[in-house]
């Protein structure tokens, strides 16, 4: 998840959605359509549409001819309305991983989020429960499919997808391993507040004003969550934003009071919408570490040393403590110069994403496939 707090401009709902850089198994009727199929001597690539009672889920199944494991890797993308490849500035993250896994004899399935690509449904109003339900439905489909049968699964979650992976793995015995790629181990609320502070690290804004802004964000999120004192929290957010804009403008020698009031109101309005979206609010107060404490399957944790969105220093220790409590086997790898998407980076910040090579840091892919086959 990533939101730019200092350079917020007016957006329509589609833009706002893009700002975000079921429990138990139940009986359900599935149908599946194979849209496209590609096959060579080494692998088969099948585009599927899995139909459930609520939505249809479009995805791509990649099966190598020389399968080295009976488990199917199911890929869970990060926050925001993602396509099956989790495309970032032309970098097809999940597709590249799937192709590498296939080259090592590992099958995988990746899919479009609700309302994206060939998946139907409403992404904006989808909750964590909806995402969990979709994942359970996908596993149930493969367990009952006559054409593409898998009974064991490895859940591969990137960022917010890691929250889903951990939660489902606790109660579903079909999950045999979990891979957490830059996944948060703290509630997303804490990640958001961390990012608010980080946005100011290269500014001259006083610490007291920065902390006032952090509190304003926190209070607005809580007011919306509790449906209490929303107007009060909204006014505080707007006033704090105006104070920050005034401070920034006075430093630059340019003060336009009317413009600052308008910008503060616009920003407050947008964050009031953002913090009320079910696709975000259902994750904000969920603590992933509570799920990790209950895991009984091996876990691979991957961290980027320059991850600005899910910071190493905020999440690694929390994840490790949770897994130590669970008693399960785990292996952590930190890639020193990697950003949130495990590209070689200079700062790790979103502003440089478009300038980076569309490939992973050295060793990243091999570490994943080796761990799958050796554990």
User: Half-sphere exposure (CA, 13 Å, Cβ side) for 257?
Assistant: 0
Residue 130 or residue 16, greater confidence: 130
Closest CA to 69 of 170, 162, 151: 151
Pick the CATH number of 31-186+286-374 from 3.40.50.1820, 3.90.1170.50, 3.40.50.2300, 3.20.20.70: 3.40.50.1820
> Would you state the pLDDT for residue 30?
39
What is the pTM for the complete model shown?
A: 0.87
Whole-number Å distance between alpha carbons of 353 and 343: 9
Report in angstroms the alpha-carbon separations of 108 from 43, 94, 178, 277, 340. Answer: 11, 10, 13, 31, 22
> Would you state the pLDDT for residue 14?
46
> Would you state the pLDDT for residue 80?
87
Q: What is the pLDDT of residues 82-96, one digit of tens each?
A: 999 999 989 999 999
Q: What is the pLDDT of residues 270-288, one digit of tens each?
A: 999 999 999 899 999 999 9
> Would you state the pLDDT for residue 17?
44
Neighbours of 217 (CB within 10 A): 23
pLDDT beyond 50 at 199: yes
φ and ψ of 167, to 5 deg: -70, -45
Please report where in the chains the tokens 């994403």 appear, as a residue.
353
> Would you state the pLDDT for residue 257?
83
The domain limits of the chain are: 31-186+286-374, 188-283
What three-state secondary structure class fits 103?
Answer: helix
Please report where in the chains the tokens 């367990």 appear, as a residue.
143
pLDDT beyond 50 at 135: yes
């Amino acid at each position: 998840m990533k939101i730019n707090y200092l350079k917020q401009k007016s957006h329509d709902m589609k833009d706002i959605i893009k700002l975000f850089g079921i429990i138990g198994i139940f009986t359900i009727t599935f149908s599946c359509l194979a849209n496209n199929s590609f096959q060579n001597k080494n692998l088969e690539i099948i585009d599927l549409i899995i139909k459930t009672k609520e939505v249809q889920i479009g995805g791509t199944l990649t099966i190598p001819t020389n399968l080295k494991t009976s488990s199917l890797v199911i890929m869970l993308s990060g926050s925001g309305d993602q396509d099956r490849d989790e495309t970032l500035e032309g970098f097809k993250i999940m597709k590249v991983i799937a192709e590498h896994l296939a080259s090592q004899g590992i099958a995988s399935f990746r899919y479009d989020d609700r309302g994206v690509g060939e998946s139907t449904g409403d992404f904006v109003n989808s909750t964590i429960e909806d995402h969990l339900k979709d994942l359970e439905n996908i596993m149930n489909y493969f367990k009952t499919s006559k054409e593409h049968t898998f009974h064991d699964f490895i859940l591969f979650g990137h960022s917010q997808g890691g929250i889903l992976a951990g939660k489902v793995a606790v109660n579903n015995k079909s999950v045999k391993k979990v891979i957490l790629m830059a996944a948060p181990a703290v509630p997303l609320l804490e990640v958001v507040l961390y990012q608010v502070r980080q946005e100011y690290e290269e500014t001259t804004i006083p610490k007291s004003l920065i902390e006032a802004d952090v509190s304003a964000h926190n209070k607005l999120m809580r007011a919306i969550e509790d449906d209490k004192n929303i107007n009060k929290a909204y006014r505080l957010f707007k006033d704090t934003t105006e104070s920050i804009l005034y401070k920034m403008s006075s430093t630059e020698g340019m003060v336009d009071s009317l413009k600052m009031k308008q910008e503060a109101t616009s920003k407050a309005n947008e964050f009031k919408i953002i913090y009320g979206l079910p696709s975000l609010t259902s994750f904000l107060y969920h603590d992933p570490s509570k799920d990790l404490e209950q895991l009984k399957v091996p876990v691979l944790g991957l961290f980027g040393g320059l991850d600005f969105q899910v910071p190493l220093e905020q999440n690694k220790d929390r994840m490790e403590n949770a897994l130590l409590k669970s008693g399960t086997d785990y292996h952590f790898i930190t890639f020193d110069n990697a950003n949130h998407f495990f590209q070689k980076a200079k700062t790790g910040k979103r502003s440089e994403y478009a300038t980076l090579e569309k490939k992973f840091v050295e060793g990243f892919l091999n570490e994943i496939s080796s761990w799958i086959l050796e554990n």
